[in-house]
Structure 1
Amino acid sequence: MKSNLVTLTDSKSVAAEAYRTLRTNIQFSSYDQEVKVITVTSSRPGEGKSTVACNMAITFAENGKKVLLVDADLRRPTVHKKFKLPNSVGIVNVIMNVDLFEQIVHKNVTEGLDILTSGVIPPNPSELLGSKKFKRFIEQMSNLYDTIILDSPPLLAVTDAQVLTTISDGTVVVAQHGVTKKDEIMHAKDLLEKVKGNILGVVLSQIPAEDNGYYYYYSYEDKKTAANNAKRSKR
């Protein structure tokens, strides 16, 4: 396994604990609606969203959930590389014929975690992800799995993430520490809100070790609380 799967390679680390905190925050993010299908995206490429998606999937499985991780980044798929899985077939084939799922899915990659890689990159990713067949597939999988995590392309590059958000119960946005600009995050937020996406929060990735962590989860409610506390301290 590659070292960025810290929830497997260094389960007692600060980073692994941060992912477990992220899992807990997501589980308690909504009292009225179960968060079962989760899209993980970022504003632009290279911000660590696939690493976050993979580690999230592992922590949910460690918590006794039956989890399906789907590499829905049909432009630059990396999930198969992180877990060292073959990728000659994958979600693209299953969309065309859902009966192939049991033959193609990688079962129990870690205990409780099944993985569906991307397969060969198609010429029309947005159309495939926005198809009725894909939506029907996710609905079917929701009856079989406790949690489904979709690794999505970046928001500002293509429309795929917006499409995936419409069939998800919530979306996590990954931003890279010291790199992602505030206006990029706000633009990503606007794009999700345009399709009435449920934004669960933001994960700040690649925080230097001296800042006591590698990933830090920070919900919009946390931001409001922090802002209110700051106002009180000025009084």
Structure 2
Amino acid sequence: MLIFNKKKKKQLSNDSMENGVHMITAAAPNSIISEQFKTIRTNIQFSNADKTYKSLMMTSSFASEGKSTVAANLAVTFAKQGLKTLLVDADMRRPTINATFSIANPKGLTNYLTDRDFDINEAIYETSNDNLYVMPSGPVPPNPAELLNSKRMDALIDSLEKQLDLVIYDAPPVLSVTDAQVLSTKVDGTILVVRQNIAEKEAVRRTIDLLKHVKANIIGTLLNDVETSGNTGYYGYYGYYGKDDKEVRKQGR
């Protein structure tokens, strides 16, 4: 049994749920941080020479590590390249897309998964960014993991991949609920977001073990909010490490 450091439990921030995440790639496309996201996009695209990723999942060990911010900004970056991109809020317990894209009382993923007569087009919203579409999570269901593990979810993933160039799923943290493990088995690749001074070594190790246990394809780790000698902007430095990079192995020790 793994025992994490006994620290005082912090109350989860609801800021991203209430105010959305900061879309720096849309607001300041030529900033240093936006350029770093472009580099991450390139690294993802060239991480597998034999296959083009059609679906990606962003997750973390715990909340407040920046996975929703990464998912949204990467989605913008891929869309700006001309790829028809859909960002899906698969974090049904702590959704952020509603606030980020100012969608009031949205219908979304749970509506489709629980109502066989629901038209999926009612859950997909255009944004002010060309080629970028979003799907909110919808009403909070009592059984998110079961919905994500349903055949209806499998059919949705398959349909979206056929109609879009890329689908990015913003999933819950791995150590909080089983949702991310379930979804990781259905997408082409999983990216683990690790935030410096927030993520704990044992937590990251346990997260990787859980994802590997379900045979998730972890294509890389994104380390954010890294302290550097220079001023790199509001979020700090974003570094992407492929699955064979030594830094990823270091995180998993």
Is the TM-score greater than 0.5?
yes
> Do residues 144 (structure 1) and 163 (structure 2) align?
yes
Inter-CA distance 12–127: structure 2 relative to 1 (3 Å threshold): same
Find the counterpart in structure 1 of residue 12 from structure 2: none
| Mapping for residues 26-65 of structure 1, pairs under 5 Å | 26-65=44-83
Query: Which consecutive residues of structure 1, in runs of 5 or more, have no partner in the other structure?
Result: 228-235
Find the counterpart in structure 2 of residue 166 from structure 1: 185
The whole-number CA distance in structure 1 between the counterparts of 2:29 and 2:125 is 22
The Cα shift of 1:216 comes to 1.6
User: Deviation digits for residues 178-209 of structure 1, max 9, x if unmatched?
Assistant: 22112211111111111111111111122347
TM-score of the aligned structures, taking structure 1 as reference length? 0.90
Contact (CA 8 Å) 2:191, 2:221: kept in 1 or not? yes
Which of 77, 80, 83 is matched with 2:95 structurally? 77
> Do residues 129 (structure 1) and 152 (structure 2) align?
no
TM-score of the aligned structures, taking structure 2 as reference length? 0.84
Which of 222, 230, 233 is matched with 2:245 structurally? 222
User: Deviation digits for residues 95-139 of structure 1, max 9, x if unmatched?
Assistant: 233751112210244100110001110010000111000110110
Matched AA of 2:243: Y
The Cα shift of 1:224 comes to 6.7
The whole-number CA distance in structure 2 between the counterparts of 1:226 and 1:133 is 35
The whole-number CA distance in structure 2 between the counterparts of 1:60 and 1:118 is 21
The whole-number CA distance in structure 2 between the counterparts of 1:220 and 1:82 is 30
Find the counterpart in structure 2 of residue 23 from structure 1: 41
Find the counterpart in structure 1 of residue 32 from structure 2: 14
Contact (CA 8 Å) 1:109, 1:115: kept in 2 or not? no
Find the counterpart in structure 2 of residue 107 from structure 1: 126
Cα RMSD for the two superposed structures: 2.1
Find the counterpart in structure 2 of residue 66 from structure 1: 84
Contact (CA 8 Å) 2:38, 2:77: kept in 1 or not? yes
Greater helix content: 1
Matched AA of 1:125: P
Matched AA of 2:237: Y
The whole-number CA distance in structure 2 between the counterparts of 1:14 and 1:219 is 21
The whole-number CA distance in structure 1 between the counterparts of 2:21 and 2:96 is 14
User: Deviation digits for residues 119-175 of structure 1, max 9, x if unmatched?
Assistant: 110010000111000110110111100000000000001100011101110001111
Contact (CA 8 Å) 1:93, 1:119: kept in 2 or not? yes
Contact (CA 8 Å) 1:87, 1:118: kept in 2 or not? no
The Cα shift of 1:34 comes to 2.0
| Mapping for residues 191-202 of structure 1, pairs under 5 Å | 191-202=210-221
The whole-number CA distance in structure 1 between the counterparts of 2:101 and 2:228 is 24
Runs of 4+ with deviation above 6 angstroms: 224-227
The whole-number CA distance in structure 2 between the counterparts of 1:3 and 1:202 is 20
Which SS does the other structure have where 1:172 is aligned?
Answer: strand
> Do residues 5 (structure 1) and 23 (structure 2) align?
yes
Report which stretch shifted further, 93-102 or 137-146. Answer: 93-102
Which SS does the other structure have where 1:215 is aligned?
Answer: strand
Query: Which consecutive residues of structure 2, in runs of 5 or more, have no partner in the other structure?
Result: 1-18
Contact (CA 8 Å) 1:166, 1:196: kept in 2 or not? yes
Size of the aligned set, in residue pairs, is 227
